[in-house]
Amino acid sequence: MAEEKKRTRRANGESAIYLGKDGRWHARVPMGYKDDGTAYRRHLTRKTRKDLVDEVRRLEKQRDEGSARQPGKPWLVGKWLQHWVENIAKPVVSENTYAGYEVAVRVHLVPGVGKHRIDRLEPEHLEALYRRMQSGGSKPGTAHQAHRTARTALGEAVRRGHAAKNAAALAKPPRMEEGETEIEPYSVDEVQRLLLEVNKRRNSARWMLALALGLRQGETLGLRWSDVDLGNEYLKLRRNRLRPKYEHGCSEAAPCGRKAGYCPERVQVRRETKNTKSRAGRRVVPLPGPLVVMLRSHKDAQARERKTAGNLWADSEYVFTKPLGGPLSPNTDYHDWKRLLDDAGVRDARLHDARHTAGTVLMLLGVPDRVIDQIMGWEPGGAARMRARYLHVTDPMLKEAARKIEKAIWGTPATPLVDKNQDNEG
């Protein structure tokens, strides 16, 4: 027993186990170093030596795997989520991704599980939150967004040693309804019905870029005329339009009483566009002949609007604008899409489903995989990534894809399409 009490010099990283004067067994387990560089040890105590040794081995394993809690007071879930979203996620993710994280944290996660200690949060706590969200009227997709946000934030906490496990990775998110996950692309007949209605509307080419080429909403609304080469029949995709975000411009002494987006003196605090972050997203896309004609006509119509507006025109250089030249809002664009579907008598669907339609049509037409990857801006993986690295999509292949899209959607014209404005293009 005297030998157990005797303190001997131990190697770095070795735990000290001894019998204390209180009759209990004690251990000091080296866990690393604090922020100031001093050594950090965890103190454990148990009634029996066997129980203590088992606990020491468990803690040493966590330490060696990097999953042990770091020194200091444990985080509350709410405090960690707020710290994570503002200081860890915000500097490295896109504005839109941050906006989704911030809403999930502020509206759902902090009120729902924020008072738990992060090292004591259990999967059942999150599953109960998801059930409450749905009982309160939230869609399964909203609960899924909260789940994905929690999983990402808690994963970072585990990597930094603030928690031993990721409770969200163990939790089961709510089951998505079949209708919410199933995507049914539009048929060619439905696309042609939309085309008839599109031709009656302002900014008609905007919708055909989605239906025929699968351009994302942000890509289309971020297009500037400098990105479009009508003479060579292609466009370059280099940036995405972001959702606007506003702050109040009114004074605290005389607040307007409205939400920031409706404040008469509102100030936009988010940039209008961001550069496409992936190499696949920065791409050249071929333009079918009828789309070239539509864009030429659209450019002429925009010039007339500019002339009519005079000094009221906001010269933004965007291809698709408001009637007075300012950039289109993604929210306004979404509602225009819903009206288009209703007026064309076509079943309701998300705007993004037009992109699925374009991808499906390209596949059915037998367009080569690597050409589809370029047109759609998909990140290649595996063999596809190697094709993108070592093979190049040639101009003739792009032209052939454009001709196939033209034939499938617009049909084969009896006579070649001739644009009377073509001779005027620079």
Rounded mean pLDDT of 238-263? Answer: 83
> pLDDT tier at 246 (50, 70, 90 boundaries)?
confident
274, 94 contact by CB (below 8 A): yes
> pLDDT tier at 391 (50, 70, 90 boundaries)?
very low
> pLDDT tier at 72 (50, 70, 90 boundaries)?
low
Task: Give the pLDDT confidence of 131-188 residue by residue, as tens digits.
Answer: 999 999 888 889 999 999 999 999 999 988 788 899 999 999 887 654 444 567 787 7
Task: Give the pLDDT confidence of 24-60 residue by residue, as tens digits.
Answer: 999 998 887 766 667 778 888 999 999 999 989 988 8
Rounded mean pLDDT of 225-253? Answer: 87
Res 191: pLDDT: 83
Res 228: pLDDT: 95
Task: Give the pLDDT confidence of 335-370 residue by residue, as tens digits.
Answer: 999 999 999 999 988 888 888 778 777 776 778 887
Select the more confidently predicted residue: 151 or 257.
Answer: 151
- Beta bridge pairs of residue 327: 321
Q: Kindly tell me the burial class for residue 80, based on how many C-beta atoms sit within 10 Å of its own C-beta (0-12, 13-18, 19 or more).
A: buried
Whether residue 8 has pLDDT greater than 50 = no
Whether residue 422 has pLDDT greater than 80 = no
Task: Give the pLDDT confidence of 365-378 residue by residue, as tens digits.
Answer: 778 887 888 788 87
Task: Give the pLDDT confidence of 260-301 residue by residue, as tens digits.
Answer: 888 888 888 777 777 776 666 788 899 999 999 999 999 999
Three-class secondary structure assignment of the chain? CHHHHCCCCCCCCCCEEEECCCCCEEEEEEEEECCCCCEEEEEEEECCHHHHHHHHHHHHHHHHHCCCCCCCCCCEHHHHHHHHHHHHHCCCCCHHHHHHHHHHHHHHHHHHHCCCEHHHCCHHHHHHHHHHHHHCCCCHHHHHHHHHHHHHHHHHHHHCCCCCCCHHHHCCCCCCCHHHHCCCCCCHHHHHHHHHHHCCCCCHHHHHHHHHHCCCHHHHHCCEHHHEECCCCEEEECEEECCCCEECCCCCCCCCCCCHHHCCCCEECCCCEEECCCCCCCEEEECCHHHHHHHHHHHHHHHHHHHHHHHHCCCCCECCECCCCCECCHHHHHHHHHHHHHHHCCCCCCCCHHHHHHHHHHHHCCCCHHHHHHHHCCCCCCHHHHHHHHCCCCHHHHHHHHHHHHHHHHCCCCCCCCCCCHHHCC
> pLDDT tier at 7 (50, 70, 90 boundaries)?
very low
